[in-house]
Structure 1
Amino acid sequence: MTDVPLGVVAALCEVIEPLAGEPRELADRHVDRVAPLATADERAAVVSEAVARLVGLGSLERYLRAGDVDEVMVNARGDLWIERGGRLRRELVVGAEDLATSIERILAPLGRRLDRTSPIVDARLADGSRVCAIVPPISPDGTVLTIRRFRRRHRPLSDFADADVARLLDELVVRRCNVIVSGATSSGKTSLLDSVLSRLDDTERVVLVEDTAELDPDVDNLVRLEARSASSEGVRAVALDELVRTALRLRPDRLIVGEARGPEALALVQALNTGHDGSWSTCHANSAEDALSRLESLLLQAAPSWPLAAIRRHMARSIDVVVHTRRAPDGRRRVVEIAEVEAHDERPGVRHLVDHGIVLGPLQRTRV
């Protein structure tokens, strides 16, 4: 990425902003006035940065265009950090006015607002990238923005696991096991699920339900549903649990719930107990066993009148396997655990098939 002298960019913006015409054409025409000694590459970089500042996303634009940037983060005092290959790096400081303009341009096409009465926005850009923005008083030090890039490149299973573990992941698909992929934030859950789904048989109909659309599997027969927040204009919310129930009426061969973190966990477990085999979902947890505890808590919150023993029986019967991912110190996302769910007297337990990336035993549960 060519370093861009911000003073030259500001000078070019001052020259062309009062002029009528298409911004890029104007920038191309006048760039020699502010950078007469620049090389062709340097002039192109100055033009792109100026256009981004005038009609694009300002200082963020160059990082969102870069193919190797996974995440763009702006902290409350304007520090801009990016993630490349799993590693964070601080780049520059974004001015408050520049950041406010960028957020306004992000949200305007979405019909969303960000102010003191609505201080948190979670949304999706046209290219699928996920945006979270927060303003005071919720973020007392200033505006915070995170953009997680949407990558259309489907990664092979070998990016997440060695050959023996990858074969076991394939076996989960073939045996139509119901699987939960667990892990911390940015541990590779969504990327792994996208990779697995892209290996499904072309004849299978996949219905995909997400809070914010992130998955884009290479599947021919695919239906995607996305939850909707209530708007200030009175448009009602469409929650994830409602979409899970709707998905069951769309004749899915595979039901995929992007993340279980609320009442949709109950709808998912009920669906898995009614013959919708081969379904997958994700949840945040510290280990495969902790994922079951996390789901148990979600089910108790969603169905407080259910006896705990009944909830645990539902879980043990509906979930076959938990796959746990972790981000390594070198930034790689890897499968570190695959655990088969066992029905114990008191609560569901696990039998490790993979631990620390090493295969320990064969898969026994199957739905075929």
Structure 2
Amino acid sequence: MAGTQGALMSEQHAFRLTDRYQELKAALHLHLIRLLEDRDIKLEDRPIAKSRELVRREASEYARLQRLPINQLEIVDLADDVLNEMVGFGPLEPLIADDDVDDIVVNGPRRVYTERNGRLVSESVRFASNAHILRVAQRILAPLGRRLDESTPMVDARLPDGSRVNAIIPPLALDGPCLSIRKFKKHALTVDELIAANTLSPSQADFLRDQVASRANILVIGGTGSGKTTFLNMISQWTEAGERVITIEDAAELRLVHEHVVRLETRPPNLEGERAVSARDLVRNALRMRPDRIIVGEVRGDEVLDMLQAMNTGHDGSMTTLHANSPRDAIHRLQLLAGFAGFAGQETTFLHQIAAALDLIVHVSRHASGRRRVRSIQRVGEVHGGEIDLGVIYEHDPETDEHVQPTEGV
């Protein structure tokens, strides 16, 4: 019985990917638009359950009158997909509603993928055409006041629920529109959940909690999708309830539950290329807001100088993240960013500034299996011989999948 049901589900998913299904969906969509206009019914003004009931009922009647050779399950799929086109985000709607999905990427009409448990998988949904992808992307961005067209072919924005969306279209995207959505988790991962997943050990958690309490300046590093922001959000919860914390992000993802939290977000330039507010602008402004701690979601530009200056001038306990593949690489990347920001001093001078500003570097990574691990926790030491000393406090052993504490790092 289970095997028969599985085969039916497989056939059902396969049918949804066919051109015939897309033709039926387009025809039903047009039929329902005319029917609703004749009856003066606006689905957006009705509860979603009532709208779904109406659309399914009318889809069944349409299939009967047209004598369509499809079963009831396929009729329900058609009705739900058309409803998503009319009041939702089309083929992406069920993926956006799925709490197990972390990321959604659309590379073309037939290439839709999601990240689940750290791994990309192909989804049994599709778009009718490149124009269909563009319409859905424009529908997502329209309420945000953002345009996506030939004059503005690349958009990065934050949805009302906190999810981040990036869209890029021709002529920049050579093979057609591409869409990426990083979903904002309704439930922020807790330290207990990260320990249960072996992302870090109880000993590491206790150590980091003590370091946050003692106002250590912490840099969290890793590659794209490694879990830097998730980890930063977790350790930032350990700040004292009475402290005034100011967060600065390009797209607000951090969720601190303290009373004295001020959330700031950068602003892109308008259509004339003006009135942008950068992370550097916000860091400078934050210094005038009587902060106890400053938390920058990610250092990626000229705000690096102001962030390090803040850490060096009484704002201990500040935190940020950085794209880097190792702690040593993070030091070099900070130097590179400082050069882009116009730092004209000697290299050794800037290394001393980094050493004085940072206390810890936490390296997180995502394995090929999708598992995320704290690869190392290293203490930032003094400058010797043109390099900053880094001392390993904890490191991950990939063979045993254990977090160990080397004797020399203790």
Q: Does 1:14 align with 2:30?
A: yes
CA-to-aligned-CA distance 1:130-159 (integer Å, 9 cap, x gap): 011111222111111100000131212241
CA positional deviation for 1:272: 0.7
Q: For residues 235-270 of structure 1, give each alpha carbon's deviation from its aligned partner in whole angstroms, at most 9, with x where no partner exists.
A: 510011000011112222221000001001111011
Counterparts of 1:1-368 in structure 2, within 5 Å, are: 6=16, 7=21, 9-18=25-34, 19-20=36-37, 21-23=41-43, 24=51, 26-34=54-62, 38=72, 46-76=78-108, 78-91=110-123, 92-94=125-127, 95-158=129-192, 159=194, 160-233=199-272, 235-345=274-384, 346-356=386-396, 357-360=403-406
328-337 or 121-130, larger mean C-alpha shift: 328-337
Conservation of the 8 A alpha-carbon contact between 1:154 and 1:217: no
4+ residue segments displaced more than 6 Å: none
Greater RCO (Cα-Cα under 8 Å, separation 6 or more): 1
Q: If each structure's helix is expressed as a fraction of its own residues, which one has the higher value? A: 2
Deviation at 1:286, TM superposition (A): 0.4
- The answer as to whether partners of 2:150 and 2:170 remain within 8 angstroms in 1 is yes
**Bigger radius of gyration:** 2
Give the count of matched residue pairs: 361
Residues 65-74 or 22-31, more deviating: 22-31
What TM-score results when the alignment is normalised by the length of structure 1? 0.91
Q: Percent identity?
A: 38
**RMSD over aligned Cα atoms:** 2.2
Between the aligned partners of 2:343 and 2:210, the Cα distance in structure 1 is 36
Residues in 2 aligned to 1:106 and 1:211: alpha-carbon distance in whole angstroms: 19
Deviation at 1:45, TM superposition (A): 5.2
Q: Specify every segment of 5 or more residues in structure 1 that has no aligned partner in the other structure, as ranges.
A: none
In structure 2, give the amino acid aligned to 1:359.
Answer: Q
TM-superposition CA deviations, 1:21-75 (whole Å, max 9, x none)? 1332641441322467526xx7765443222112321111110011110000011
**Residue identity opposite 1:93 in structure 2:** R
Amino acid at match of 1:153: H
C-alpha separation in 2, matches of 1:156 and 1:222: 19
Partner of 2:400: none
Alpha carbons 1:27, 1:47 under 8 Å: kept: yes
Distance 1:35 1:197, change over 3 A: farther
Q: Please list the CA deviations of residues 83-127 of structure 1 after superposition, one character each: whole Å capped at 9, or x if unmatched.
A: 111111111432312211111111111221222332211111111
Contact in 1 for aligned 2:360/2:380 (Cα 8 Å): yes
CA distance in 2, matches of 1:78, 1:177: 48
